[in-house]
Amino acid sequence: MSGVPDLSVAIGTMKLKAPVMPASGTFGYGQEYSEFVNLNRLGAIIVKTITLRPKVGSPPHRSTEVSSGLLANIGLQNVGVKRFIEEKLPYFEGIDAPLIVSIGGESVEEFAEVAKLLNYQKRVDALEINISCPNVQKGGMQFGADLEVTRDLVSRIRDLTEKVVIVKLTPMVTDIRPFAEICQECGADGVSLINALVGMAIDIKTRRSKLGRNVTGGLVGPAIKPHALYLVWQAGKAVDIPVIGIGGITSAEDAIEFFIAGASAVQIGTWNFIQPGGLERIIDGIRAYMEENGITKVSELIGTLTGEPKI
Amino acid sequence: MQYPILENQRVSHNYFLLCLDISEIAKPPKPGQFYNLRCGETKDPLLRRPFSMHRLLRGKGSVHLEILYRVTGKGTKWLSRRKKGEFLDAIGPFGNGFFIEQSVTNAVLVARGIGIAPLYAVGEAFQGITKETNVFILMGARIKERLFYEEQCKRIGEIFPYTDDGSRGFQGRAPELLVDLMRQGKLPRKFTLYACGPANMLRELADISESFGFSGQVALEGHMGCGFGVCLSCACPLRPERVKRNEFWKKPALQWSEDGSRVYSLICKDGPIYDIREVDWDEWCA
């Protein structure tokens, strides 16, 4: 009815040509997917969480499949910010899509150091502060489950970078809303949720965890989608900044559910492992849905759940 | 990519042989490399399953890939029910593959159970590049009913079967049989070992390789999320001082600790084939 749908959305000053991007930790440093996906079609690219120093990550065995999900304890294995800048970043000079770098650390200082170093990098468009990794001993989710620490960390990063700042939230809290609100208060340009839920799987023959010495891991994949949708719906009502929906998305239909619940964009995680070209199909599917339903802009979908009782 | 199934048949007990027409593929696999197959149409099972190349059959303008697999769970059960003419969603080939040198005069293949699948490709590769290499195959299982593929393996070398209960061949496990054969002089003094099987078996073979002084390569199995080096699930600890890198084994995915005292390697990208002495077996089997 009204021409070509416009899939673009904005997170702060960052313009995404489509509301779809990979989730950190499922897309390597981007280049690994170049043979499967046209990276320039993506709304943005998010790389694996980078820390100040390189991390070898968790001991074996790091993952196990569970019903419609993946339980994994990777322990933020990454090359460290120095090698990232020297060896991984130059690849993005040839790519148009905005680049979001996920950052992690064991202390506010470490997060700040990484953010400072990346602030000098022109090619980096945004930072996603990972305060929600379930598998690191210090920092990680402990940051994301404490309101005051979240406030300190987000304001600190906000003060020292001009980049777009997104905060990735953990679902492992009693109420997600105050966390989203604090991020907004501290000047974040958006929040992304959810990171993994914590889970376990046990081998009943050996009575050992299927993740060996790691014992617990982060549960991701389609199994967590209903919970993710619920938290996105809650966060979407609590804040005005964009909410990026993450959790078990495998299709355009899944993504559209997140838009209706309140997400301005979505991240695709585990599904990249199964269908490494899946991101483009999801973008195509969203466009087809918009065409079929006469939707001209993604914003016409965001937070449009009907049938909610009025309070 | 979708590939047509040319055959998918039970070969013994819960072992199946799948044949895919991969003529369309740009880069055919090498022994030791693997494909990641989607084993279902729903989200449970979710992840792809890795299967090593068993045989590559090249015809005029056609390339057929054989995969030998064991039904162990939901995914492989689904796979075993696929029929000729249907299509399978496969990505690959992934991994480094065995390093097969023409100069090897004696190759000893050590397999347990389905471990024979990639090793058969090694035997065939030696036949293909040189008729000079003597191939010896130690193959076994818990009981004789689980031992299969003997007839086929006779085509590529001399067979030494073993079973845990002695119902067929040597009574005992592969490492014991290997030592026994060496002591009896039934194997040449110098050989290269190629092994695939449970981690504990590989670990024992590594110990034996140290004490008897032979070199070897092992095919490792790890839980994989993706197969192409991004999920970082299949990290295997290596011994920093023994890491083997060369033109064929570039190991692009090594992650060193800052002080160089620890290093993890991704089985899907750097492996699944490793030098038998570079794996940190204590850590891997812990």
Asked if residue A2 belongs to a domain, the reply is no
If asked whether residues B123 and B209 sit together in one domain, one would say yes
Instruction: Please tell me whether residues B215 and B124 are part of one structural domain.
Output: yes
Amino acid at B60: K
What integer pLDDT is reported at residue B171 of this predicted model? 98
Residue B99 lies in a domain: no
Are B162 and B87 in a shared domain? no
Say yes or no to pLDDT of A143 above 90: no
Rg (CA), chain A: 18
What is the token pair recorded at A102?
């996920």
Of B64, B94, B124, which closes a domain?
A: B94
Report, as an integer, the average pLDDT of B224-240: 97
Judged by CB atoms closer than 8 Å, whether chains meet at B255 and A70 is answered as no
Q: Are the beta carbons of A60 and B235 separated by less than 8 Å?
A: yes
Counting one residue from A and one from B, how many pairs have CB atoms under 8 Å apart? Answer: 104
Mean pLDDT throughout A37-47?
97
- Mean pLDDT, chain B, integer: 95
The answer to whether B277 contacts chain A (CB < 8 Å) is no
Average pLDDT over residues A289-310: 95
Burial track A92-129 (b if 16+ CB lie within 10 A, e otherwise) = beebebbbbbbbbbbebebbbbbbebbeebeebbbbbb
Which range (A3-7, A279-283, B263-267) has the least confidence? A3-7
User: Do B84 and B111 reside in the same domain of the chain?
Assistant: no
> Rounded to 10 degrees, what is the CA torsion of B215, B224, B150, B183?
30
Q: Out of B24-28, B82-86, B211-215, which region has the weakest mean confidence (pLDDT)?
A: B24-28
pLDDT at A144 over 70: yes
The tens digit of pLDDT for each residue in B261-272 reads 999 999 999 999
pLDDT exceeds cutoff 70 at B103: yes
Number of domains in chain B: 2
B279 domain residue, yes or no = no
Helical (H) or strand (E) element with A246: strand A243-246
Closest-CA residue of A relative to B45 is A68
Residue B160: inside a domain: yes
CATH of the domain at B25: 2.40.30.10
Distances from the Cα of A276 to the Cαs of A21, A139, B7, B16, in angstroms? Answer: 13, 31, 27, 27
CA B203 remoteness from chain centre: 15
Question: Does residue B214 fall inside a structural domain?
Answer: yes
Q: Is A133 a catalytic residue?
A: yes
**Domain CATH number, residue A78:** 3.20.20.70
- Would residue B232 count as lying in a domain? no
The predicted model gives A117-121 an average pLDDT of 97
Sheet holding B55-58, edge to edge: B49-52, B34-37, B87-94, B2-12, B15-21, B63-70, B55-58
Contact status of B258 with chain A (Cβ, < 8 Å): yes
Contact indicator for A21, A36 with CB cutoff of 8 Å: no
What is the number of H-type helices and E-type strands within chain A? Answer: 9, 16
| 8 A C-beta contact, residue A201 and residue A64 | yes
Question: What band does A138 get if pLDDT is binned at 50, 70 and 90?
Answer: low
Using a pLDDT cut of 70, give the percent of chain A over it. 97
Average pLDDT of A152-168?
97
pLDDT of residue A139: 58
Taking the model in full, what pTM does it have? 0.96
Chain Cα centroid distance, residue B163 = 20
* B257 reaches A (C-beta below 8 A): yes
CATH number at residue B166: 3.40.50.80
The verdict on residue B118 lying in a domain is yes
The answer to whether the beta carbons of residues A188 and A161 sit under 8 Å apart is no
- State residue A2's pLDDT score: 55
Which of these three, B179, B198, B221, is where a domain ends?
Answer: B221
Using CA atoms, how far apart are residues A157 and A130, in angstroms rounded to an integer? Answer: 12
Give the pLDDT confidence of B87-100 residue by residue, as tens digits.
Answer: 999 999 999 999 99
For the segment A230-265, what is each residue's pLDDT rounded down to a tens digit?
Answer: 999 999 999 999 999 999 999 999 999 999 999 999
Residue B48 placed within a domain: yes
**Does B257 contact A60 at a Cβ distance shorter than 8 Å?**
no
Q: What is the mean pLDDT of residues B152-172?
A: 96
Burial label, B278 (beta-carbon count in 10 A; 0-12, 13-18, 19+): buried
**What gap in Å lies between CA B202 and CA B162, rounded to an integer?**
16
Mean local confidence (pLDDT), B40-57: 97
Look over chain A and give the mean of its residue pLDDT values, rounded to a whole number: 95
Answer yes or no: do B112 and B191 share one domain.
yes
**Percent of chain B at pLDDT exceeding 90:** 91
Virtual CA dihedral for A124, A128, A130, A131, nearest 10 degrees?
130
Average pLDDT over residues A14-27: 98
User: Which of residues B203, B221, B239 is at a domain's end?
Assistant: B221
From the list A250, A77, A263, A78, the residue with the least C-alpha distance to A169 is A263
- Is residue A278 one of the residues assigned to a domain? yes
Enumerate chain A positions whose Cβ falls within 8 A of a Cβ in B: 25-28, 32-33, 48, 53-65, 67-70, 72, 74, 77-80, 212-213, 221-222, 250, 270, 272-274, 276
* Domain tally, chain A: 1
The answer to whether B65 touches B35, Cβ cutoff 8 Å, is: yes
- Rounded distance between C-alpha atoms, residue A60 and residue B96, angstroms: 20
Residue-range definition of the domain harbouring residue B32: 2-94
Question: In a mutagenesis test of the B interface, which of A65, A220, A271 is the best target, namely the one with the most B β-carbons within 10 Å?
Answer: A65
Q: How many residues are listed for chain B in this entry?
A: 286
Question: Phi and psi (nearest 5°) for A5?
Answer: -65, 145
| Domain ranges, residue A21 | 9-58+74-196+221-300
Q: Is residue A205 domain-resident?
A: no
pLDDT band for A199, please (50, 70, 90 cuts). very high
Residue B131 and residue B87 share a domain: no
**CA-based nearest residue in chain A for residue B44:** A68
Could you give the CA distance from residue A111 to residue A142 in angstroms, rounded to a whole number? Answer: 14
Is A45 within a domain?
Answer: yes
Catalytic residue among A44, A85, A133, A246: A133
Which among A285, A271, A287 has a CA at the least distance from the CA of A33?
A271
Contact B231 A32 (CB under 8 A): no
Interface ipTM: 0.95
Backbone angles phi, psi at B281, to 5 degrees: -65, -35
Q: Which chain B positions have a beta carbon within 8 Å of A61's beta carbon?
A: 222-223
Spatial separation of the C-alpha atoms in residues A131 and A197, rounded to whole Å: 13
pLDDT at A134: 76
Does A153 reside within a domain? yes
Residue B27: the pLDDT is 84
